[in-house]
Structure formats: structure tokens, C-alpha cells
Amino acid sequence: MVETTLPEVNQIADYLTSVLGQQLGKELPLKRQGQRGRGNYIALRLNPDLEVGPEAYKIQITRGKVECVAKTPAGLFWAAQTLRQLTYLHAPANQIWLPGGEIQDEPAYKWRGLLLDVSRHFMSKEFIKRYIDLLALYKLNQLHLHLTDDQGWRIEIKKYPALTQKGAWRTEPNGTQHGGFYTQADIREIVAYARARYITVVPEIDAPGHVQAALAAYPELSCTGGPFEVATAAGVHPDILCAGNEKTYAFLKDVLTEVAALFPGQYLHIGGDEAPKERWRVCAKCQGRIRAENLPDEEALQGYFTKRVSDMLTNLHKVPVAWDEVLKGGAPSGTRVQVWHGQKQLKEALQLGLPAITSFRSFFYFDLNSGITNLEKVYQAPVSPSTLSKEEQRLLLGAEAALWTEGVPQERVDEMVFPRLLAFSENVWHGKTTQPDLFADFHRRLQQHYPYLDKVGVDYGFETWPVQFVPTYTPASQTFALSLQPGLQNVSLYYSLNGSEPTLSSQKYEGNPILFSTSTTVKVAPYKNGKKLGETAKASFEKHLALYKRAGLKYGYHPVYAAGGEMALTDGILGGEDYRKGFWQGVEKENLEATLDLEKEIPLQEISIAFLQDVNSWIFLPTKVAFYVAGSDQVFKEVPVATAGQSGKTEKPYRLVFSAQGKGKPVRYVKVVAVNRRVCPPGHPGAGGAAYIMADELIVK
């Protein structure tokens, strides 16, 4: 029953009747104001005099009646989602039984969002609408669409047709073509669909960096004139929009005018992240602009650029949102800052009086492996850090999770987003997640919720590492004993020890440790209901003389990149080229200095340790590696280092082994010192930010 004539509330009633009817498998009658209702019923009622927030609601369940009351239609819509959550496991044709009682609820934050990167991998219009429905169920109210980047331009701009004719398509290294875009009619349909579910779609047109797709279509907007192709590789590309060229600003004004007309929400995201300045430093037009505007450097030139773009949005009655890099050159007043680097940048934005959105990479980036950014971490991450003052807290709009899709096509989106989105939605709704018992309660409820995700076809992934390898080593028998832990309940693990790909015909892990006594590569495939879930996990074990000897670290490892903890450098597991697999141990800004006691003198033949470089993840090779050895007298002497290969400037991750020869001399203690460059170098998108060293197994032979 609807106790109002407002169109918005009638629309919510139609929506609720439809979704509950679908769950029950039968049509439910709808009575509007002035029509008499009989039997059990749900009443929707507005009360603008309620002394609550705009999205608050109250549900009272008594015999034969469920009454939903809110101050605004948005509150009533969230009440409808709560009713859906109370009833979604009822089978078709079943009656719904609800316990009597009262619910009073409202969100802690007004910005509760998810970013979908549709540039790197295009997602269909119907897929986007499906995600809008999922966001609505979990009471998230912002969908941030990352529409443009180096790998594709995804929105039709009528004045610049080449943006989609050329910029929306790329040819992959294997010769296949990937692409797609949304017509303006598609965008209107998506926006209307979201608006009916009280979700605002926030478009992002990234500038001045991440514009390779736009430059492929209009190379004259660059500093060099091109030519360019739509990028296939992830990372940060040096060619960005020319800030000294007036054609750039005319282009952006035209584009933003068309975009603003398609999105009725107040916000429009202008990017601003990862814009390398190397082209600007040698561009005559950019240098001329710096002189004409009396700017001190290229960072200030980006500040000038951001101010001009922000003014365009102000004239279009839009509020600019930008990534936290815009703080370096000066963010215009009124800008909403989306903070992804960390608490330092959040504090800086808020102290400038700029409203901010928390999107910390280390907590809320769902492109990171579910082991690094696991379910519990997402749930307990503070949206509002305790270091903020009350005034700063008032400026904090809320939080947004992000799925960047460089390596995530549409068919893998579910497994990256779920179940972590459930932890995020609860975190940002009530903002009280730091108590351990709250997560335990959430985790218990989540297990009961998985059948619903199965029912509606959400191909969710893991809560933590897909497979956690827990090895031990027995020196007496020189045997590894490997235990496996799946990252999701009700998952079966199948494994091989001979390098073959595990299948349902392979050995099934039954809980007993897997034993092996030689250097071995173990492959493990998770299966759920007979279907493979995610990728095959792999761990290579190297047998050597320092296994499970404690490598004392002078400086602690970063808790996010702990790998195997205190034994990570001697547990026998070798890391590959992906730090996200959890086998690399990371040190932030400090040197890696580890000392190993072999417990007795041995004739040393070789020491080696591997380090990782992944510049796009702020991970760099040490600037220097030194080995020292000592006998029982603990008098250390340096031994010469030989590297297997040389470091390079490639953006692709790679592993480099450093080694030293022992020549059979008796040694008890081994020390390795790897010098951290401490901060990202000039020209890097994270220039001045903390640099990481990632270390692998410390091997003694």
C-alpha cells in the first residue's frame, strides 16, 4: 500500500512489488492512496518532519503489516532494499515470514560508490545495468564510470566522431581487436536506470594524462603531434594533452559540454592522475604557457590546467572531482578530491577545505589480488581515519571502491568485486567496522548470503588468497610438508607435483599435508560444484641449506606485503613476477637488511636472493646489494656480488637474482643489505612517494 501520491514513491512501490513478486514467483497486488487494503500488506509512507538524515528510514513489523517510513523517497528506497535482504532466500511460491520488530537505520556517509573501469575492458550496457541493480541492493549510491583512458574512449562525442571511430578500438598483440563504446542514447538509458534506483552515475573524462586513445584520434592535441595508436599495454604513458595549446582547452570544453548534458548528477570527474611531465618540459608551447602565466614549474602548469577545466565545469553547473595528484599543482576551491594514495593526501585535501572521498589503493582497490586486499581488510579499513579532526570529518564525503580492469575482462568482474563489495558496502554504510567481533558477525552472515549470490548468477571470487600455501620443513627427514587452505568455503582443491595442469582427475587435497623431498613446483586448482574457480595457483619450492632459518630483519616488512611473515625469506617458496601472489616480502622506504644464522659452520658455495621490479606498482630494484659472511666469530667480511642479468627501464615486471660465490669457505652467518631508493624518482607518476623493495628467497648452497 502506498500512502502518498508522489510519483517517486509510487515508482518505489512499483519497483518493490516487482522484485518481491519475482522472488516469490507470483504477482503481488498494489494499492495506492485512497484504495483500501485487505490482508497482510506493506505500507510505504513519507514523513518530512522526521528528525533524521535524508537517507534514513524506519521499518516496523507487526502482525499482518510492515510499515516503512522515511523523510525522503531515497530513504524509502533503502527501506525497500532492506525488505529485499530480509526475504531474498524465500523460494518461489513460498510465503514470506518476517520476525516482528523495528529497524531504524541510516548511512554514516553520503558517498558510497564503486568505480568500474570500462576503458581498459569494455562492459556492455546490460552488464552495467546489472551492476546498478547489485549496487542498489547493497545500498551503494554512486557508480563511477571511468570512460576514457589510454586503452579506449568509450563515450560518443558528436563533435569529435573519431574519438569512438578510432579511439574506442585497439588491436591486441595477438591480432584480435577489443573495443566498444556507449552511444549518447545508451548513456541516457543507463543514467535513467540508475536514477530510478537512487544511484548517481559519475562520468570520468581523464585529463591531462591517460589520453592515448584520444590522441590516436586527434594527435594535434599532444605536444609532439604523434602519430599515436590506442594503447594495448597498461601503465603510464608519456604523451599527454598539451597544456600550452589552446586547441586542447577548446576540445575539452566541447567534450565536457556534451558529457555534462548526458549526466544530470552534480559531479563530473576530470581525472588528473598519473600525468608525467616529460613532454611538457621540452614543449615550446607548454614552456611558453609557464612563462606567460608566471608559473614556477610543470606541476604548477597542471594546476593551471586543472583550474581552467574546473572553470568549464562551473559554467556547466557541475562540481569537479579529481584524483589526489591535483593537490601537487594546487586544486581549485570547490574540487572534490578522490584520494587513492593514502592518509597523507587525505589530510592535505581536508586541511585545504576540499571535500574528499576515500579510495585508498591499499584497502579499496579490487583489482588487487583478494589475498592482498582481503575481505577482512576491506571490512575493517577506516573510511575516516582517527587522525582527522571533527571539521575534517565533516568534509569527508564517504568512500569508493575501485575496479581497474587492465587485466580484468567483463567475464571476470564478478570474481574481483564479490564478495569484497559486500564488506565495503557494510563498512561505508555504518562506518563502525574496527571491532573484530563485527567482522566475525559479518563473516557468519556472509556464508548464509552466498546461496543468494549463486541464485542470481554472481560468479563471486575468494575472500582471501585463492589458495594459501602453508609449508613446513623437517630437517631430519629433509622433507617439505605442505598444507593448503582454500580462500572460500565449499571449494575443493586439486593439485599436481609434476608441472601438469590440475583437473578434476588430479589428486584431490583431503586435508593431510602433501609431502615431497626435492625442489618441486606445486600447482593447485580450486573447483566449486565441478567448475574451476579462478586461476591455478602455483608455488615453486627450492631446497637449500637455509630453509626455515630465521632471517632477522633490521627494519620491519610492510604488513600488507608480509608474504610468509618472519620465515618468508627462507620458507623455500620462490616468487614469480607478480607480487600480488603473496610470495614477495616488501619493505617500504627502508633498506632490506637481513642476517641469517645457519647454526653451524658450513662450506659455502653460493648465496643468492631475488628482487622484483614493477615500476607501475612503486616497486624498484635496490640501488645496491651487498653480501657479508662470517664464521662463528661473527666477524663479517663482504663478498663480491654478481647479478644474473641487468636492471632495465622496462615497465613490465621482472625478477632479478643477485648472487655471490663462497668458494667452499666455512660460514655460519650470512648478511644481505639491499639499499632502497626510498622514494619514486623524478618523472615517475609517484615521484617523491614511498618506494618499495620486494625480496624473495635467501638461498644458501
CATH of the domain at 322: 3.20.20.80
Q: In one letter, which amino acid is 601?
A: E
**Residue 2 belongs to a domain:** no
Give, as one character, the DSSP assignment of residue 513.
Answer: P
Q: How far apart are CA 502 and CA 506, in angstroms?
A: 6
Residue 266's φ and ψ, nearest 5 degrees, are -80, -15
Task: Using the CB atoms, write b or e for 440-474: b if 16+ within 10 Å.
Answer: eebeeebeebbeebeeeebbbbbbbbbbbbebebe
353: left (phi over 0), alpha (psi -120 to 50) or beta: left
Q: In this structure, are 339 and 430 located in the same domain? A: yes
Give, as one character, the DSSP assignment of residue 29.
Answer: -
**Residue 689 belongs to a domain:** yes
Q: Which residue segment(s) compose the domain that 18 sits in?
A: 7-105
CB 33 within 8 A of CB 27: no
Q: How far apart are CA 306 and CA 329, in angstroms?
A: 9
pLDDT of residue 649: 55
Q: In this structure, are 353 and 493 located in the same domain? A: no
Cα dihedral 545, 551, 557, 559, rounded to 10, equals 80
Q: In this structure, are 337 and 280 located in the same domain? A: yes
Q: Where are the beta strands (DSSP E) in 152-227?
A: 152-153, 169-171, 177-179, 200-207
Residue 583's φ and ψ, nearest 5 degrees, are -105, -5
- Which H or E run includes 134? helix 125-137
Q: How far apart are CA 535 and CA 520, in angstroms?
A: 19
Q: CA angle 563-564-566, nearest 5°?
A: 115
Residues 274, 298, 299, 415: which is the catalytic one? Answer: 274
Q: Please report the DSSP string for 298-356 in residue order.
A: HHHHHHHHHHHHHHHHHHTT-EEEEETTHHHH-PPTTPEEEE-S-HHHHHHHHHTT--E
Q: CA angle 236-237-238, nearest 5°?
A: 120
Q: In this structure, are 239 and 150 located in the same domain? A: yes
**Residue 557 belongs to a domain:** yes
Q: In one letter, which amino acid is 150?
A: D
Q: How far apart are CA 227 and CA 220, in angstroms?
A: 9
Q: In one letter, which amino acid is 267?
A: Y
- Residue identified by cell 540508475 is 194
- Residue identified by cell 648478511 is 671
Q: How far apart are CA 263 and CA 252, in angstroms?
A: 16
Q: How far apart are CA 554 and CA 556, in angstroms?
A: 7
Q: In this structure, are 572 and 695 located in the same domain? A: yes
- Which H or E run includes 485? strand 479-486
pLDDT of residue 432: 76
**Residue 44 belongs to a domain:** yes
Can you say whether the dihedral through the CA atoms of 149, 155, 160, 166 is positive or negative?
positive
| Residue 516, helix vs strand vs coil | strand
Q: In this structure, are 434 and 474 located in the same domain? A: no
Q: In this structure, are 361 and 442 located in the same domain? A: yes
Q: In this structure, are 122 and 203 located in the same domain? A: yes
- The separation between CA 2 and the C-alpha centre of its own chain, rounded to angstroms, equals 40
- Residue identified by cell 523460494 is 91
pLDDT of residue 27: 75
334: left (phi over 0), alpha (psi -120 to 50) or beta: left
CB 464 within 8 A of CB 504: no
Q: Please report the DSSP string for 413-482 in residue order.
A: HHHHHTTHHHHHHHHHHH----SHHHHHHHHHHHHHHHHHHHHTT-----SS-SEEEEEEEETTTTEEEE
Can you say whether the dihedral through the CA atoms of 48, 54, 58, 59 is positive or negative?
positive
Task: Read off the C-alpha cell for 121.
Answer: 575492458
Q: In one letter, which amino acid is 243?
A: A
Q: In this structure, are 511 and 640 located in the same domain? A: no
Q: In this structure, are 261 and 405 located in the same domain? A: yes
Q: How far apart are CA 214 and CA 223, in angstroms?
A: 13
Please compute, for residue 397, the number of CA atoms within 13 A of its CA located in the half-sphere on the CB side: 22
N residues, the chain: 701
Tally of structural domains, the chain: 4
Please compute, for residue 324, the number of CA atoms within 13 A of its CA located in the half-sphere on the CB side: 23
**Residue 1 belongs to a domain:** no
CB 191 within 8 A of CB 177: no
Domain end among 455, 490, 521 = 455
CATH code of 23's domain: 3.30.379.10
**Residue 185 belongs to a domain:** yes
Report residues of the chain scoring pLDDT below 50: none
> H helices within 578-636, ranges in order?
none
CATH code of 487's domain: 2.60.40
**Residue 628 belongs to a domain:** yes
CATH code of 588's domain: 2.60.120.260
| Residue 249, helix vs strand vs coil | helix
Q: In one letter, which amino acid is 255?
A: V
Domain end among 524, 541, 558 = 541
Q: In this structure, are 440 and 469 located in the same domain? A: no
Q: In this structure, are 420 and 532 located in the same domain? A: no
Domain end among 411, 428, 455 = 455
**Residue 460 belongs to a domain:** no
Instruction: List own/partner pairs for 25-28 with CB under 8 A and 24 or more apart.
Output: 25/92, 25/93, 26/92, 26/93
pLDDT of residue 320: 98
Q: Is residue 274 annotated as a catalytic residue, yes or no? A: yes
